[in-house]
Amino acid sequence: MDFEDFVQDLSSLEVISKDNQKMAVKLKGVPLQYANALRRVCLNGVPVFAVDTVDIIENTSVLADEGLAHRLGLVPLKTDLSRFNEPSKCECQSEAGCSNCKVMLVLDSGDSDVTRTVLSNELSSEDDSIKPISEKIPIVQLAPGQKIKVECYARLGRGTEHAKWNSATISTLTETDKDDERVLTVESTGALSPEQIILAGVDEVSNKLGEFKEMVSQIQE
Ligand SMILES: [Zn+2]
């Protein structure tokens, strides 16, 4: 039986609790291997945006360039899946990317007379839908006279490639007292809503199973 037969869409899943960050749904009659596949995909198989490459134009902070790039990569970014493509699936098929698969964010701290912390709100994005989920994530501390100036390029990626692209911080499957009934709990990093993660996760598992079936049928021929 197909995965789609079990999970049509979110309306066929019973929502137990839901807020902006966290959502729990009841999976009824979904075989354990499918439920577990969905749990894993929700954790690290749904694409979200993260900074992938950084051009350091100026960095006089005490943090090495690599450290600064790493910190920028770990800032969770709000993601719009409807408008952007993963680079491997984008029509441009170019290393440089295009406006459908890449977003530039710039940060120019200037210098200051006092010691201060550069926060994520200083990252300015060329696309308003792709920006840090919070304005208060510390990036680097600057002493008087120090400054950083960087150009960051963000793209969609998956947590299976690097943890900075994880779509959820928590994705768990718990048993209930009824047979054949489990609870999937997903807590988002903030890049997507937990609802979007579960919906995209259902699509992803369906597609993977479809591809797998296709592969098997080709082997048989
Ligand atoms: Zn592109």
Among residues 138, 158, 178, the one where a domain terminates is 158
Alpha carbon of 175 to ligand 1 centroid (Å) = 42
Task: Give the number of other Cβ atoms within 10 Å of residue 52's Cβ.
Answer: 21
Alpha carbon of 211 to ligand 1 centroid (Å) = 24
Q: Which two tokens stand for residue 185?
A: 């709990």
Encoded amino acid at 136, one letter = K
The percent of residues above 90 in pLDDT, for the chain, comes to 81
**Is the same domain home to 128 and 203?**
no
- Of the candidates 103, 140, 110, 107, the one whose C-alpha atom is nearest the C-alpha of residue 121 is 107
Domain extent, residue 140, equals 48-158
- Mean pLDDT score of the chain: 93
pLDDT higher than threshold 60 for residue 43: yes
Q: Do 107 and 118 meet the contact criterion of CB atoms below 8 Å apart?
A: yes
Among the ranges given (1-10, 86-95, 124-133), the one the predictor scored with the smallest mean pLDDT: 1-10
- This prediction's pTM: 0.90
What is the average per-residue pLDDT within 193-214? 90
**Is the same domain home to 85 and 148?**
yes
Query: Alpha-carbon distance 109 to 73, whole Å?
Result: 17
Number of domains in the chain: 2
**Is the same domain home to 33 and 91?**
no
Most confident of 79-83, 176-180, 215-219: 79-83
143-174: per-residue pLDDT in tens? 999 999 999 999 999 999 999 999 999 999 99
Task: Give the number of other Cβ atoms within 10 Å of residue 75's Cβ.
Answer: 22
Alpha carbon of 51 to ligand 1 centroid (Å) = 16
Alpha carbon 84 to chain centroid, angstroms: 13
**Is the same domain home to 187 and 125?**
no
Alpha carbon of 156 to ligand 1 centroid (Å) = 11
Q: Which residues crowd ion ligand 1, with CB under 5 Å?
A: 90, 92, 98, 100-101
Alpha carbon of 190 to ligand 1 centroid (Å) = 24
Alpha carbon dihedral 79, 74, 195, 200, in 10-degree steps, equals: 70
Alpha carbon of 59 to ligand 1 centroid (Å) = 29
Confidence of residue 56 (pLDDT cuts 50, 70, 90): very high
Alpha carbon of 89 to ligand 1 centroid (Å) = 8
105-122: per-residue pLDDT in tens? 999 999 999 999 999 999
pLDDT at residue number 220: 76
**Is the same domain home to 27 and 70?**
no
CATH of the domain at 114: 2.170.120.12
pLDDT higher than threshold 90 for residue 192: yes
**3 state DSSP class of 214:** helix
Confidence of residue 208 (pLDDT cuts 50, 70, 90): confident
Strand boundaries in 19-167, DSSP class E: 22-28, 48-59, 103-108, 116-119, 124-125, 138-142, 148-157
pLDDT at residue number 165: 97
pLDDT higher than threshold 90 for residue 7: no
Among residues 118, 141, 158, the one where a domain terminates is 158
- Of the candidates 66, 54, 88, 57, the one whose C-alpha atom is nearest the C-alpha of residue 156 is 88
**Is the same domain home to 66 and 151?**
yes
pLDDT at residue number 179: 87
Encoded amino acid at 201, one letter = G
Alpha carbon of 124 to ligand 1 centroid (Å) = 21
Q: Which two tokens stand for residue 25?
A: 């749904």
pLDDT at residue number 10: 57
Alpha carbon of 158 to ligand 1 centroid (Å) = 17
